[in-house]
Structure 1
């Protein structure tokens, strides 16, 4: 009986180890894909990058066909809106602005659809206040979850927006605020402007500053409010990969996380979240050092890293303060809305 029990336990342990190895292999493959987009920009695809990271966390079980089908449907709907709608915009970049407007409408507006002479109502994506930081499960931050449930947050909503813009052949710049991601566009008529998808409003920069956690150094150093290019956007996805790995393997030795962070920081040197995760991971590694002299030396080096994070302007924003700030855009809409773009926003 004891021998049989031992054999069963051995089989279960072997299966567990094999599963963990396969999962780790998926993470390495996803990292390789993201890194290849940095090595060869011709292979860049934000959609593929995001899909790879989410599929990896889900153990290669994400429905690829359905994911692409939904993206294709939304892209087709965007093209239909562009074709059927008149946009009161006269500058030379009207074709580009029209595409941005169509994606915005899909994300934020109710749209009547005429299918075989029957009118259907297309409902926009909503904001999900449940687990907005992905503490309970990382899936709550995923674009795939947003597509399936029609509800997302400041991570998945701008990611989907950028994916759809790129499917239409136009650029969309991600931008960061404390605990937050939003969109920045640059048009000939209005210059740089912000698109906030959690509320469907075009806020002025003063709203970002109103959080109280945006130091002037953070702006000048590109920590916040910078229009991120595609390489820097991949840096964000690399951090997602690292965070997902940390959630999947909480007792990891930090090697994979540091690899992701270092690659992300190389592309986006003042990416505060990556700098923080790198420092936190090193802290855990240093704690394991038995040699006190070496341990103290490493901690002194780590203190320099934390000092650098502070010097570039990063300030930690409590999660409850973030929610209050996010809601302020609706409660104080008249104060923070970009009036020049009001005709494009929800009424």
Structure 2
């Protein structure tokens, strides 16, 4: 009897523990959903925090992170007060703030401390575990702030956070496996800011990858300046990916909820469309495993399996139809490095005047 009671207590505590862990993800989803439905004030920083805190299961030091962001903001303000760009359009104040954030993130900067001049080291690209395969937190802003090394996920996220802290907007934009910044200013119109290499590339660099189909540009899959709500939709995909990493054997319902909401906000958000299709694929494979078969036709005799199979094929067809093409990871790194090795070819000359 005692043994049975202990077993029951063990399972009860196990499920309660997992429910408590899932609560962090539920809370993060609610935070993002509240901002998307205007029930809570928008803040990209709070959105990022909610995702990373869910992955860390509430052990996220927001005080320390806020202090680091305050330092970077203070540094940006020092630059604003001690230098001025040769730019005189009506959006001069905004452009000066963009330049300050870019300098702090991408350029070595002399800092006078008393009688000494120190050289502030900028953030750099981390080629170790670029896609977060070994450890998802390598994609996080918190990791970037701790090590000053980041990637095409964390660096543009931090740029957007700093821009909003400085009272200006910043648009995230997507390319295959990649996130960068797009700005619109009066003198130039739209231009790109590539933080992983600290360069302002022309659109030709993006299309030079060979994986940006014309339909993808037309449909806003790639190279579109995401608005604030579309950026939050991107965070919903990050949240689902974090959840899948934390609970790899989940039933897919949380991922589908995140994907559905993200697609509602941005119907052509490829990351969300792929998440949805891959979750349905995972559910189909689970049914195959339950039937103890590797034969698809045998599994399709199950009406639920047939419905899933037809749905995921429809979703993958749609993803291809809107112009999305996946880029092999090794080619992505070569493409990223090409921006530095062929800088003269791809740099926006308008920003050198």
TM range (shorter): over 0.9
Corresponding residue number in structure 2 for 1:143: 141
Q: May I ask how many residue pairs the two structures share in their alignment?
A: 341
Distance 2:252 2:38 in 1: 27
Q: 1:116 aligns with which of 114, 137, 146?
A: 114
| 1:306-325: CA deviation from partner (whole Å, max 9, x where unpaired) | 11100000011100010000
TM-score by length of 1: 0.94
Distance 2:116 2:271 in 1: 48
Deviates more, 1:36-45 or 1:251-260: 36-45
Corresponding residue number in structure 1 for 2:89: 91
Corresponding residue number in structure 2 for 1:271: 269
Give ranges in structure 1 of 5+ residues lacking alignment.
Answer: none
In the alignment, is the contact (CA less than 8 A) between 1:184 and 1:227 conserved in 2?
yes
Cα deviation, residue 81, structure 1: 0.4
Corresponding residue number in structure 2 for 1:303: 313
Deviates more, 1:209-218 or 1:298-307: 298-307
Cα deviation, residue 120, structure 1: 2.3
Give 3-state SS (helix, strand or coil) of 2:182's partner: strand
Corresponding residue number in structure 2 for 1:319: 329
Give 3-state SS (helix, strand or coil) of 1:43's partner: coil
Corresponding residue number in structure 1 for 2:223: 225
Corresponding residue number in structure 1 for 2:232: 234
The CA RMSD measured in Å over matched residues stands at 1.9
Give ranges in structure 2 of 5+ residues lacking alignment.
Answer: 288-298
Q: 1:17 to 1:297 in 2, by over 3 A?
A: closer
Corresponding residue number in structure 2 for 1:330: 340
Corresponding residue number in structure 2 for 1:72: 70
Cα deviation, residue 282, structure 1: 1.1
Give 3-state SS (helix, strand or coil) of 2:209's partner: coil
In the alignment, is the contact (CA less than 8 A) between 2:174 and 2:180 conserved in 1?
yes
| 1:269-309: CA deviation from partner (whole Å, max 9, x where unpaired) | 00111101101111222344575234223312321111110
TM-score by length of 2: 0.92
Give 3-state SS (helix, strand or coil) of 1:264's partner: helix
Distance 2:191 2:326 in 1: 25
Q: 1:256 to 1:334 in 2, by over 3 A?
A: same
Cα deviation, residue 110, structure 1: 1.0
Cα deviation, residue 14, structure 1: 5.1
Corresponding residue number in structure 2 for 1:158: 156
Corresponding residue number in structure 2 for 1:253: 251
Give 3-state SS (helix, strand or coil) of 2:129's partner: coil
Q: 1:293 aligns with which of 303, 313, 321?
A: 303
| 1:25-59: CA deviation from partner (whole Å, max 9, x where unpaired) | 00000000000001117610000000111011011
Give 3-state SS (helix, strand or coil) of 2:155's partner: helix
Distance 2:59 2:231 in 1: 25
In the alignment, is the contact (CA less than 8 A) between 2:34 and 2:40 conserved in 1?
no
In the alignment, is the contact (CA less than 8 A) between 2:28 and 2:54 conserved in 1?
yes
Cα deviation, residue 113, structure 1: 1.6
Distance 1:243 1:99 in 2: 33
In the alignment, is the contact (CA less than 8 A) between 1:202 and 1:342 conserved in 2?
no
Distance 2:169 2:315 in 1: 33
In the alignment, is the contact (CA less than 8 A) between 1:132 and 1:153 conserved in 2?
yes
Q: 1:97 to 1:253 in 2, by over 3 A?
A: same
Corresponding residue number in structure 1 for 2:295: none
Distance 2:302 2:102 in 1: 56
Deviates more, 1:8-17 or 1:202-211: 8-17
Q: 1:127 to 1:9 in 2, by over 3 A?
A: farther
| 1:105-155: CA deviation from partner (whole Å, max 9, x where unpaired) | 000011122233432221100110011101111100000000000000000
Q: 1:288 to 1:341 in 2, by over 3 A?
A: same
Cα deviation, residue 13, structure 1: 5.4
Deviates more, 1:155-164 or 1:38-47: 38-47
Q: 1:9 to 1:197 in 2, by over 3 A?
A: farther
